[in-house]
A and B are shown apart, each in its own frame.
Chain A
Amino acid sequence: MKIQTLAIIFVLIIMPISVVLGEYSAMQRKIFAIEQTYDSSLITSTDDALKAFQINTFNDTTTGITDRKMNIIEASANAFFNSMEQCFSMQGYSKEDLHSYVPALVYTMYDGYYIYSPYQNITEQNGTINLGSTGKDYGFKPYVYYSCRYTSGANNDFVITYTLDNYITIQGFVKGAMVDKAGYLLTRANAKDKLGVFIDSATNQVYYNGVPIEKESNLTENLVESDGTTIKQYKYIKLNGTKYYLDEGQEKIFYILGGDRVEQAIKAKDEETYAMYKNAIENNISAIDYYKKAYEFTLWVDNNLSSITVNNAVPINNLQDKNIGNIFDGNYDSPGSNFNTHRKDVIRYAIESNLSIAIANFNNYSGSTTDFQMPVLKETDWDMLQNEISIISFLQGLNMGGKIYNGYTVVANAKTEEVINEGKIYIATSDGYYHKINDKHLLKNSDYMKTYTVKDGVLDLDFEIRTDGATNQKYRNRTELGCYTSIVEQSNVDSTCDSIYEYLTKHKNDIYENALIKYYTALGREKWGRRFNSLILTSLDEF
């Protein structure tokens, strides 16, 4: 056979292989491009849902109320599907079509979460619930708490509901007695210069991590006046999530509801109530109360639950970290403490267990041939879910031409007053800027501190631009600007520590003391002032 013939035969063999391989790799690239488009569409839609949630919660003073929160979450879910419809319109999917590919939408909250998915127990027009319905409806399933049951002997059978921070609720029988308690857990110190809370019995002074906690007398913020053009400073106090302002000119106390000022107490009508609020505002002991009550609650927990381990949890098999020892071992502040490890484990299990069931059940509703299963979430995503209020969205079953799409995304809601953690408190200084606590400007030996002074500790959200509901004007509660080296660029912040907690404990003696005092006072004040559902109701009598 001539070499030319051999060459032609070779080409005849190679050519189709080459063409097929080329087509295959072209198809893979096409699938990859489609997958990227779907990924970005899912991220965009989830971000839109979060923005809708943020806008509604940020400018609404009633969002802590459960019914109102449900409305806001439903609006957010609606925004998600509207956005999905926009993103997928070019692929020919309608909003209704997309419902068949979204097995679940999850809103993780402070102490539990909502799952948005289809269900069949539809409420009929006459109000009865039709359990045998063959139709389906989409909506939120009942709220699931991050709770865990513990049993130990015959006398201990109780449930603890955890939250995204150090607040817990204990309900059930402890040592044979019925208990319904809630509070913050903080490490108790045995001396004022040690880490944790210490109460000096001689002076009644409260210390946290060696820093004295102060009473605040001049806590002010800006509000837009009814003319819509002027801004006025008011003294205020935050109680159960509501800010009460003191109008000294008109001698009244008011709060803001839906953009309107609602009078809480007027001196001319009820002098006693007015005086009570005025005293509370001008002698704000929220921070002191936070640390004191946390100390008392922790003392009770240490005395009654110190022997509880993960082995007492029901069902234990589903928890990951089983060998951490006693959960309530007295150390609660460190991110790596037994308590925090177990708390995060319970949160993870609570989300994972119900969510995997909801997604698996979606097979009964979708009408799609896809076998819906919960994807494995990345550890970084779990870290986000265990620390922040977040939205998880799933999109599964879309055909990409040779492959079925299976994606999810998690976005965190940083603009919320529900979760107050160490990173959310900033320090305002006399030069008109606010700083992170780990800004090197706030160190004792910095030149900055020789020139400027610390004003107070402020919640990060108070620096955000808000819209006044009555006048539709933009304003900010605090007028300071973000420090360019610690807020905007973050070039002058400590980078050696993994968390603010670690930084504060490691560099306790290096940080300007007044900054630390203002910081811990603000942290306590904001935690104590947040809205509680069933929990601590701050009484004005305490002030």
Chain B
Amino acid sequence: MNDTFIVIIAIGIAGILMFIFPLMTIADRNDDITQLTVQTDTNELVDGIRRTGTLTYDEYNSFVSSISATGNAYDVEIQFQILDENPSKKTSSATNVVIIGENVYYSVYTTQIEEELNNKGKYVLKEGDIVSVRVKNRSKTFAQTLRGVWYSVMGDDTYIIFASAAGTVSVNGK
């Protein structure tokens, strides 16, 4: 009886060591690779917007398709900070040189940007605008699922793949 119990325990441990452990290791490495891929794509997207001053519907779709090809679902958050130089140009009178304000930025967010892309096919920015993109996985990766089974500590809103990039637009978009 005692031997049987030990054998069962041993088989259990062996199963964990032979299957679960390698599986977790490979799943972790897979997440590492996914992280690199998503970060590269995010950088390329931001760099493209920064260089051309334009985000097109096709570019955005291509980016979303590319990161989705990693097998996970992602939340993409885009923020454009639009430069408003007018406050710094306003003067108290037409003949006075006193400058009363500084440059300000106001932000547009993902839904507004997506709406513009759907309606017009592109979002045009100008020199000085700031673009920032954040991507995080919405669905659990295989590694997260495995860890969730073991540790039961994974909350619904926890992410493991995260990429972000930002830059200042260097040209007026066309």
Contact = CB atoms under 8 A, between A and B. Distances in A.
Contact of B174 (A4, A18, A381, A499): A499
B33 interface: yes
A491 B168 CA distance: 19
A11 B25 contact: no
A102 interface: no
Interface in A215-231: 224, 228-231
Interface in A465-523: 465, 473-476, 479, 481-482, 484, 487-491, 493, 495, 498-500
Contacts of A28: 32, 36
A21 to B, nearest CB: 5
Given A411-B170, A479-B91, A11 B21 contact: yes
Given A381-B51, A489-B82, A7 B14 contact: yes
A310 to B, nearest CB: 27
A481 B43 CA distance: 34
Contacts of A3: 10-11, 14
A491 B173 CA distance: 13
B121 A22 contact: no
Interface in B108-134: 116, 120-122, 124-127
B148 interface: no
Contacts of B99: 465, 474
Given A481-B86, A495-B121, A230 B95 contact: yes
B171 A32 contact: no
Interface in B126-155: 126-127
Contacts of A410: 51
A25 B28 CA distance: 10
Contact of B95 (A6, A231, A491): A231
A47 B51 CA distance: 12
Contact of B39 (A32, A229, A230, A232): A32
B34 to A, nearest CB: 11
A384 B36 contact: no
A4 B97 contact: no
Contact of B97 (A43, A474, A489, A490): A474
Contacts of A476: 89
A28 B86 CA distance: 45
Nearest to B33: A25
B88 interface: yes
Contacts of B22: 14, 18
B174 A473 contact: no
A475 B120 contact: no
B32 to A, nearest CB: 4
A495 B57 CA distance: 12
Contacts of B173: 490
Contacts of A474: 97, 99
Contacts of B48: 380
B173 to A, nearest CB: 8
A11 B17 CA distance: 7
The contact size tier of chain A is: 35 or more
A371 B21 CA distance: 44
A380 B32 CA distance: 30
Contacts of B84: 482, 484, 488
Interface string B1-27: 000000000110110011001100100
Contact of B21 (A14, A423, A487, A495): A14
Interface in A183-235: 224, 228-232
Contact of A22 (B10, B29, B116): B29
Contacts of B94: 231, 479
Contact of A412 (B32, B43, B88, B170): B170
Interface in B90-106: 90-91, 94-97, 99
Interface string A368-387: 00000000001011001000
Contacts of A21: 25, 29
A48 to B, nearest CB: 12
A25 B95 contact: no
Interface in B30-68: 32-33, 35-36, 39-40, 43, 48, 51-52
B86 A490 contact: no
Contact of B18 (A7, A384, A489, A491): A7
Contact of A423 (B85, B122, B125, B174): B174
A4 B10 contact: yes
Contacts of A490: 124-126, 173
A72 to B, nearest CB: 19
Nearest to B25: A18
B172 interface: yes
Interface string A2-18: 11101110110010001
A456 interface: no
Contacts of B10: 2-4, 7
B78 to A, nearest CB: 16
B171 A25 contact: no
Contacts of A231: 94-97
Given A6-B18, A224-B97, 15 more contacts: A2-B10, A11-B18, A29-B36, A32-B40, A232-B95, A380-B48, A410-B51, A414-B127, A414-B172, A481-B86, A481-B89, A484-B86, A488-B86, A490-B126, A498-B174
21 contacts: A2-B10, A4-B13, A4-B14, A11-B18, A28-B32, A29-B35, A39-B43, A43-B167, A231-B94, A231-B95, A378-B51, A380-B48, A414-B171, A423-B174, A463-B89, A465-B89, A473-B97, A481-B86, A481-B89, A488-B83, A488-B86
A-B interface, 6 closest residue pairs, ranked by CB to CB distance from nearest = A7-B14, A25-B32, A495-B120, A18-B25, A481-B86, A412-B171
